[in-house]
Amino acid sequence: MLTIRFSRVGKKNRAQFKLTLQEHTVAPGGRHVEVLGSYDPHSKQAVLKEERIKYWLSKGVNPSDTVYNLLVAKGLISGEKRKVKLPAKKAEEAPAETAAPAEAKPAEEAKPEASKAE
């Protein structure tokens, strides 16, 4: 199944994206069928091949959620924007360190109980 999605290009800390048409199983930076435009998130500027995007959408190609929201904002398609799930942030090491002393407390509490039993 084909999908329209972003492919990240550009420098480190200065992302730019190409809108590409690719098989949904291919990695986003991998082989593509067609480049349908570009997007600069810093200046919010999009260059889109509107005719080709409308053509592929008429053929039943599904855009990713983020691309769908961009197309709605630019007026190529009508509808409400979709909610986009962002990847969860990895847990920092600080919460793991606070969990370790909490585990040690039950062992310390067990010692006084053992002395009471004697």
The domain spanning residue 10 has which CATH number?
Answer: 3.30.1320.10
Per-residue pLDDT of the chain (118 residues), as tens digits, is 999 999 999 899 999 999 999 988 888 888 889 999 999 999 999 999 999 999 999 999 999 999 999 999 998 888 888 888 877 888 765 555 555 555 555 555 555 555 555 5
Return the SS3 of 18.
strand
- Asked whether residue 69 is assigned to any structural domain, the reply reads yes
Q: Which residues of 73-111 are buried (b: 16+ CB within 10 A; e: fewer)?
A: eeebeeeeeeeeeeeeeeeeeeeeeeeeeeeeeeeeeee
Does pTM top 0.85 for this prediction?
Answer: no
> Number of structural domains, the chain?
1
Does residue 17 belong to any structural domain of this protein? yes
Residue 43, exposed/middle/buried by CB under 10 A (0-12, 13-18, 19+)? exposed
